[in-house]
Structure 1
């Protein structure tokens, strides 16, 4: 295989990489697009309403937090982050995991989740918490496959419309 054939082949494979400030607008657009597709509107308290949505790179700068994006064919098509859960020093939250239709069904959600969980372990967290909604059927199935179990809501995440809380003990 020639170098240009390898480059062409790699161009089409989705890659997971750390979020940079240059990605802020693109990942915010992905979150807005996917939220709209599922009817998750800002007025109901979903993640799309977060004031920091357009500047996520500033939110995930601490050593115990990280956000990754998935780039596919030169575009940001998804992402997810890990950040401390306020008031629970040993628990982190899996946050803002969204994927455009272009990369759904390719195993990227599972791969990104595994990377986030590994980061949580390395950062010393004892559990990973998340909040979601029943509309996100595919996400719920993934979380259950990964070993997350339903639990009581923890902390004040600001996502009042997310009726489902789940936790994974590491």
Structure 2
């Protein structure tokens, strides 16, 4: 039987008593899967590049100026997304991840929608993101939410850069 509990989107304050309530496990899954998709699989978190390991080890410190949104189901974090602090009137969406067991339920849509609402409340003029070109489902989601492909700001050749006005 499939668990169909409601999913709530909340702003993570970093005050969670355990990783079960925070983004660490989700960030680990995101980074490990990304390495697999890039053809650079690693055996575990210890094999990830330093910049990713530190996100997993201490997301509160890494994202101190940003907003981390969590999708919660029954108290467990099942999705996450980071909205960066505004730079030059723009924020960036990063680290969108939904637990595979919760995909197809609108979790990612709800996270991105909440991120856009936060951006609007923060007064930014645009939100941008980059997504690996093989993540066609994510690209389609972003397009449904009004993002369009834009000139790249990232030197990695397999990224699609997108932006939308807020």
What is the TM-score of this pair, normalised by structure 2?
Answer: 0.76
Counterpart secondary structure, 1:147: coil
Counterpart secondary structure, 2:85: strand
Structure 2 unaligned blocks of 5 or more: 43-47
Counterpart secondary structure, 1:61: coil
Pick one of 149, 152, 167 that aligns with 2:163.
Answer: 167
- Deviation larger for 134-143 or 27-36: 27-36
Counterpart secondary structure, 1:12: coil
Map of 1:26 onto structure 2:
25
- 1:72 Cα deviation from its structure 2 partner: 2.6
- 1:75 Cα deviation from its structure 2 partner: 2.7
* Count of equivalent residues: 150
Equivalence map 1:57-76=2 (5 Å): 57-62=60-65, 65-76=66-77
- 1:150 Cα deviation from its structure 2 partner: 0.6
Equivalence map 1:5-154=2 (5 Å): 12-19=5-12, 20=14, 22=18, 23-35=22-34, 38-39=37-38, 41=40, 49=49, 50-51=51-52, 52-54=54-56, 55-62=58-65, 65-84=66-85, 88-154=87-153
Distance of 1:153 and 1:89 partners within structure 2: 17
What is the TM-score of this pair, normalised by structure 1?
Answer: 0.74
Distance of 2:126 and 2:41 partners within structure 1: 28
